[in-house]
Amino acid sequence: MSEPVLDADRLTKAYGRTIALRGVSLTVSPGEAVGLLGPNGAGKTTTVKILTGLVRPSSGTARLFGLPATDPAARTRLGYLPELFRFPDWMTGAQVVSFHAELAGVSPADRRARVAEVLEMVGLGSRGGDRVGGYSKGMSQRLGLAQAIVGRPELLLLDEPTSALDPVGRRDVRGLVSALKAEGVAVVLNSHMLGEVERVCDRVVVIDKGHVKFTGTLDDLTNEGPTLHVTVGRTDSDLAPALVEFGRVQVDGAQEVVVTLGPPWDDVPDEAAEQIAAAIVRGPWGLRRLDVRHASLEDAFVAMVSGGDR
């Protein structure tokens, strides 16, 4: 198995009396995309800043490619798009990317071609000669992404990379991340856009109040079975026992029932729905409506950060 390109071990960070991180650990392997999730103030951006060497942890270690995150040799292999950034309004987009290419060590002989290549990759191929002051928010976001990848990084840290983009722009970023992963580039995506994380990330790390509350695959996070939301004419004490063979039954009010399917019914939710509908029709409750719903990343995330670990 490949050595991790990123290895953070029990990171803590205190700003005076405020504790931002409380023992955060995570690893990322080559070609892997990891989503960093959490509510506002959870500690995600502090974690990213420690990984870039911009902030030193109070305790714990952060290593990139086997080197301390503060080592310049490690940071030359890193691309970073911060959540908040500004470029000089008087520079053109191509000049901004060329400047960052120089900082990243791209040779003068290769620089012009590389700048043109990455501007095309982020959808600014025809706008590189325009001044940054005339760019829209979405174009500035694309430019920020261009500077992050111009040095051909082996690890890319993206802090809210789609926050200012329209649906087309978000799709373009997803395609770019997928292409970079195929080339072996590791990606850490810090985003509130759960749908974006769900589409491109192999694993997720959920941080809340400075703690890691979950780390694993999306399937592991959303492993609760499908749910059937049933509206009946009335409920009584016999309704839940009549459906318990299908999974966990919650009678919610006078007319609502939620059945979280358990084995083996979670693998055949449509068949379970037919059986449950038949059981309700045979009884005195009266079937009004039945919907099959599958757990999403948003469902699992909200349940985790609002009500504790499942």
Residue 276 has pLDDT above 50, yes or no: yes
262-291: buried (b, 16+ CB within 10 Å) or exposed (e) per residue? eeebbeebeebbeebeebbeeeebebeebe
Distance of alpha carbon 157 from alpha carbon 143, whole angstroms: 15
Residue 270 has pLDDT above 70, yes or no: yes
Determine if the peptide bond prior to 284 is cis (ω within 30°).
no
- C-alpha distances (whole Å) from 145 to each of 172, 236, 291 are 11, 58, 41
Label residue 166 by pLDDT band (50, 70, 90). Answer: confident
What pLDDT is recorded for position 172?
Answer: 87
What pLDDT is recorded for position 261?
Answer: 86
Mean pLDDT of 31-47: 90
Q: Which residues contact 30 (CB under 8 A, 6 or more apart)?
A: 2, 5, 154, 184, 185, 186
Render pLDDT for 179-224 as a digit per residue (tens, 0 to 9).
999 999 999 998 877 777 888 899 999 999 999 988 988 777 766 6
Residue 310 has pLDDT above 70, yes or no: no
Mean pLDDT of 92-119: 96
Helix ranges (H only) for 22-136 are 44-51, 72-75, 93-103, 108-121
Q: Which fold has domain 6-221?
A: Rossmann fold (3.40.50)
Label residue 299 by pLDDT band (50, 70, 90). Answer: confident
Q: Which fold has domain 227-294?
A: Alpha-Beta Plaits (3.30.70)
Domain boundaries, the chain: 6-221, 227-294
Tokens for 201? 């990330």
Label residue 58 by pLDDT band (50, 70, 90). Answer: very high
pLDDT, mean over the chain: 89
Label residue 286 by pLDDT band (50, 70, 90). Answer: very high
Label residue 131 by pLDDT band (50, 70, 90). Answer: very high
Residue 120 has pLDDT above 50, yes or no: yes
Residue 309 has pLDDT above 60, yes or no: no
What pLDDT is recorded for position 148?
Answer: 96
